[in-house]
Amino acid sequence: MLVDIRPFRAIRYSKKAGSIVDLVTQPYDKIDPSLQHTYYEKSFYNYCRLI
């Protein structure tokens, strides 16, 4: 049986999410609890909430 590999849609922010500066984060293994809190305060749509 062959593996079925399919592309997926990228995550894209709309203008509703706000400035990209408030949405991006460092890699997950670099985020300590205080930095996580900082990201949470920047935006409800910050990528840290997804990871």
Q: What is the pLDDT of residues 3-40, one digit of tens each?
A: 999 999 887 888 999 999 999 999 999 999 999 999 99
Do residues 29 and 49 make contact, with C-beta atoms less than 8 angstroms apart? Answer: no
Chain-centre distance for alpha carbon 5 = 24
Q: Is 38 exposed, middle or buried (0-12, 13-18, 19+ CB in 10 A)?
A: middle
What is the token pair recorded at 7? Answer: 């592309």
What is the secondary structure of 6-40 as a DSSP string?
Answer: ---PPP---GGG--GGGT----GGG--HHHHHHHH
In this model, does residue 51 exceed pLDDT 80? no
This prediction's pTM? 0.71
The pLDDT value given to residue 18: 92
